[in-house]
Amino acid sequence: MKNLHPQQAWTWLQAHPDSLFVDVRMEIESLYVGRPPGVVNVPWYEYPDLQADAQKFADAVAREADGKAQAVLLICRSGKRTLDAGKALEAAGFSNVQHVVHGFEGELDEHFRRSTLSGWRFEGLPWEQM
């Protein structure tokens, strides 16, 4: 799995328009917190059980993909869920997986807030919100 910082991920997406961009956050997070345009939401886990099922996730991504050789870029809130999700995709046979380091909202600052130190939104990259 390749680690791409937000600006690198945006540049990579522009160079690979045929890639699959997957937001692994819960649907409610993606809709209300915000998300990059063109992203497909495939949650790593969902409310109320909040338990990841690697095979279920990989199968859901496979339904969205044009095949397991298609490049996949993963994003979550802070870049941590995507590490496990990416490993699950690689174990399922996906051969070209990337993830966004620091995710959409980035790391927590000293006041326990996100989007102030790092992340997609902090970098000023395109995003939308419901």
Q: pLDDT tens digits, residue range 41-88?
A: 999 999 888 999 999 999 999 999 999 999 999 999 999 999 999 999
Q: From the CB of residue 63, how many other CB atoms can be counted at a distance below 10 Å?
A: 8
Distance CA 70, CA 49 (A): 30
Residue 47's pLDDT is: 87
Q: What is the pTM assigned to this prediction?
A: 0.95
Distance CA 9, CA 15 (A): 10
Residue 74's pLDDT is: 98
